Amino acid sequence: MKFSTVDAGDSSEELVVGPPLRNPFVYDLKFTPAEKLKIALMSVTVFPVRLFLSAFLMLLAWPFAFTAALGRTDFTVEPQSWWRRLCDLSLRVIMRALWFCGGFHWITVKGERALPSEAPILTLAPHSTYFDAIPVTMTMGSIVTKLESKSIPVWGTLINFIRPVFVFRSDQESRRKTVEEIKRRARSGGEWPQMMIFPEGTCTNRSGLIRFKPGAFIPGVPVQPVVLRYPNKLDTVTWTWQGPGAFKIFWLTLCQLHNPIEVEYLPIYTPSEEEKSDPDLFGNNVRRIMAKALQLPCTDLSFDDCQLSLSQGPLRLPGNSSLLEFNRLVRRLGLRAGVTGKVLQQQASRAKELCGGDSMDVEELAQHLNLPVTDALSKVHRLLDQHGDGRIDIRQYVIALSVVCRPSKSMETLKLGFQMYESEEDGPVVQEDLDAILKTALGVAELDLSVLFKALDPENTGKFTYDQLCGFLEQHPDFAQECFVSARSRRVPHTNGCNGQAHTKKDN
């Protein structure tokens, strides 16, 4: 896979960077015996006290938030009367006391926060925990949050107080209205409270910055990047899609003597005219600046890649799978829209008819997909270029598409692969073809499958059936991960294409 980067002032290229070594949506929390003993002691001494005080302060904050929200409308900002200012001040004090009781004794603030008229939007990253609410309560800025938050007892009232913009993620119309509301507030000339947006759109483990959603950058107004750090030796705050649950995070964090947090306000970023018309470019350039301040890599994984990167089963994708990049590209090209199991079967039948030993260059692939030759399509072609000769097997495109569209149905993808490669219905495939099917389905170039081949074919016939493979995978559900570990132990990791060609930065 090839990479290119863009200078912050150069808008001629898109920022494309590789995934970090760790899956950003997974967090594995481990403890030493000494840490376990400390948590056990804190659980029966400090934790109950902190829990009681936190609950008391939350309940104490509720009437102030409820009172301040009386008489509000969704489209106008009410005058800041003396009693509303009193409620606001009281809430700030109560919330600061709440975090203090939770072990956040000192909050280090670097830089200077801009005025709403200077930067209507603050972009915060990385978003890694619900404790990211700390800088929100420090400023009482508005946020964009999921609609479900509104119904949370007590906490929902506190969220309503800061005048959030609610979004229902599964409703496209709701997303459109959310963007329009962000634009309306951001262009009000400082009339509305400053908006605090986490452009990643989901929590990660802070191993890198995932792709920013464009919502904060569509208005085309100056933004102030804000970076967050939790420099505790034992990280108990990280809350991701796969890892400790919400209550466990809360319990473990309250069992720490002290939980440091750093909030750094970076200089205001004013977009160029080109960035105003291209929110993705605007977001990429802001992300690059924030990543540099955090000394973290960027990755083109996004919220929409969670399901793919967290897929389970015998063909669970490794963190360096090029299918993550393939997924981003086909989504950008519109090739994922409307893809169902029936559509994939039709594409597989067509691919089998076309593959009488022939392969496709990028122009032929474009014609096959009824698309123009673009940079994104060329990248898709290079990812599938097994031999580095500028030609691909269209069957491998169908396999890769099946994986990204149906990440939880890996066995159906393998069945589809066998149907395209077998010479007769329900017949066997040869070793070379099975090797191509598995490497394409995993998005890796180098994978030692010798143990698999030997187990499936003890008589060394060189032929394999789908039923044989299914039986093996039922008995060895972690075979792919074992292969990755074995491969890493023999070589230095590097970035791979989908099928057999290893690309390095020298390819640029």
Cβ-based neighbours of 52, under 8 Å, separated by 6 or more = none
The whole-number average pLDDT for the span 347-370 is 85
Q: What are phi and psi of 443, to 5 degrees?
A: 70, 35
266 and 227 Cβ atoms separated by less than 8 Å? yes
Instruction: Return the pLDDT at 2.
Output: 32
Instruction: Return the pLDDT at 314.
Output: 67
CA distance 208 to 44: 36
Instruction: Return the pLDDT at 170.
Output: 57
Read out DSSP for 127-161?
---GGGHHHHHHHT-EEEEEGGGGGSTTHHHHHHH
- The domain limits of the chain are 33-305, 311-507
Q: Report pLDDT digits (tens) over 42-96.
A: 999 999 999 999 999 999 999 999 888 877 776 777 777 888 889 889 999 999 9
Cβ-based neighbours of 146, under 8 Å, separated by 6 or more = 166, 167, 168, 169
Instruction: Return the pLDDT at 357.
Output: 53
List the one residue out of 337, 407, 392, 329 whose CA is nearest residue 361: 392
Sequence-ordered alpha helix ranges (H) in 116-272: 133-139, 155-161, 172-186, 246-254
| Higher per-residue pLDDT: 10 or 248 | 248
The pTM of this model reads 0.71
Q: How far is CA 69 from CA 59, 62, 140, 160, in A?
A: 16, 11, 13, 7
Q: How far is CA 86 from CA 65, 89, 398, in A?
A: 11, 5, 62
Q: Is 193 left (phi over 0), alpha (psi -120 to 50) or beta?
A: beta
Residues in the chain: 508
Secondary structure (3-state) at 507: helix
CATH fold for domain 33-305: Glycerol-3-phosphate (1)-acyltransferase (3.40.1130)
Instruction: Return the pLDDT at 490.
Output: 46
Residues in a beta bridge with 166: 145
The whole-number average pLDDT for the span 254-269 is 96
Instruction: Return the pLDDT at 72.
Output: 76
The number of angstroms, rounded, from the C-alpha of 51 to the middle of its chain's C-alpha atoms is 31
The whole-number average pLDDT for the span 32-42 is 95
Residue 9 has pLDDT above 80, yes or no: no
Model confidence band, residue 422 (pLDDT cutoffs 50, 70, 90): confident
Cβ-based neighbours of 177, under 8 Å, separated by 6 or more = none
Instruction: Return the pLDDT at 480.
Output: 63
Instruction: Return the pLDDT at 311.
Output: 66
